[in-house]
Structure 1
């Protein structure tokens, strides 16, 4: 990662509204022998003119979602709260390559969905808000940004994608998780999980409560949250953490703390009862 891209990633984390759950993860993570490196395009490679302006707007909307789309975001989160570094960080739910996956089958919906539908699912669940009109300027910009990030990724290439893995046989202990939270998370996200602000805007987002993701969000699931925490949380290293310092917690720590914070009070999402209509509901999906 060059200096310009490093600055871009840090800006995406610490910018107008959110640092997501941690200060971590880097696109330069260990690759299997012979694998294609995870290498998001540089911001400097955005095209000129109207096309570039649309892509840049999409990136801004990713980093400043709550501020720029207050009518659609019902909490204090941004897209970059879960898609770190404006979707350019490996194992932090990157947007790099995501364009190639859609339309595609979504087990939670029980049908094929478009990328537009997937984005709006995040607005309804993670943002606890309202969907964007499919033909809106903002939706077109977000799609353009994701398409630009995916332009050089071969179809089917999953390098750096997702949030990493965790052993789902680990049994969570929320009492121990509360202690892990106090020791490793509260300094950024607050003793009460309500996040921390600077100059009136969230620098560290709320992990529960009315300004956090609702119960239907993927991050409300214990093992999903645990995988994200495990691979993206060098809280022990603080604000000066170098990129690529994931793994500050053990897998058991991550599962325990995820069980603790995901089961704290948060907004409901009644439509979750319609999820997985064809079966296969994960064991950590919320009832």
Structure 2
């Protein structure tokens, strides 16, 4: 019996030590508009799509600035390497390090409303929340639970040297000002990068590392400008993320279990 018991222990230890299976990778493929069903479900999906692409217009009671969900989740949440929503339905519930707890899709959506849109949380029973949930569900309908969508998030970006906001200011004038303006306020179609109409200190995009990864993957070389190097993306992000922007009072509750990133603005 002793030998058998020890064998079970060894077997158990071996099972613990084994690496977990890697998730199946699937291509990012958003469903066609024609697949939106008729009836109440389709109406909810279309409402969520409208809120996603023009948040100030379709969720004015909860929007606090000029940004929409699609300001960061490009192409209505369908673009690779721009935090796409395709497949996100199968990811939640998940652990949220900034909150220090397991969170739901509703928690994540409201985190964006509070931080990126400097607004108010959506009531979980509201038509706006139901619409956004329906839209994410529809975008994710063909992605199996547990699968990893290729192009999810922004590829991590390494800089060769510490980010320099002074160099970034010159890069901004060369590569960004044509769209975002000298004052960073953008236009009716271009989101502001700083100031009271932009994201607050608690937003993920306020971190230089997050902004640099997004800029390199999605903004580099636009408008006929030269593509940015990784270092230039870091430098220009260090410049615009440290411009004046709204505070986030709830920041005192962030990272309750530790692990706050070094480039957090607070």
What's the TM-score bracket when you normalise by the shorter of the two chains?
0.7 to 0.9
Q: TM-score, normalised by structure 2?
A: 0.87
Gaps of 5+ in 2: 1-23
SS in 2 for 1:249: coil
Q: TM-score, normalised by structure 1?
A: 0.81
Q: Tell me the equivalent position of 1:273.
A: 252
Q: Tell me the equivalent position of 2:209.
A: 223
| Alpha-carbon displacement from aligned partner over 1:112-149 (angstroms, at most 9, x marks no partner) | 01110110111000000001111001100100110111
Q: Which has the higher contact order (CA 8 A, sep 6+)?
A: 1
Q: Tell me the equivalent position of 1:195.
A: 186
Moved more, 273-282 or 139-148: 273-282
Q: Tell me the equivalent position of 2:48.
A: 58
* 8 Å CA contact 2:90, 2:145 repeated in 1: yes
Question: How does 1:1-287 map onto structure 2 within 5 Å?
Answer: 36-156=26-146, 157-167=148-158, 170-196=161-187, 202-237=188-223, 248-287=227-266
Shift of 1:169: 6.4
RMSD: 1.7
Structure index of larger Rg:
2
* 8 Å CA contact 1:185, 1:235 repeated in 2: no
SS in 2 for 1:204: coil
Gaps of 5+ in 1: 1-33, 197-201, 242-246
Shift of 1:282: 0.9
Shift of 1:185: 0.5
Shift of 1:215: 0.5
User: Structure 1 pair 182/120, CA: closer, same or farther in 2 (3 Å)?
Assistant: same
* 8 Å CA contact 2:26, 2:149 repeated in 1: no
SS in 1 for 2:143: coil
User: Structure 1 pair 270/232, CA: closer, same or farther in 2 (3 Å)?
Assistant: same
Q: Tell me the equivalent position of 2:3.
A: none
SS in 2 for 1:203: coil
User: Structure 1 pair 152/236, CA: closer, same or farther in 2 (3 Å)?
Assistant: closer
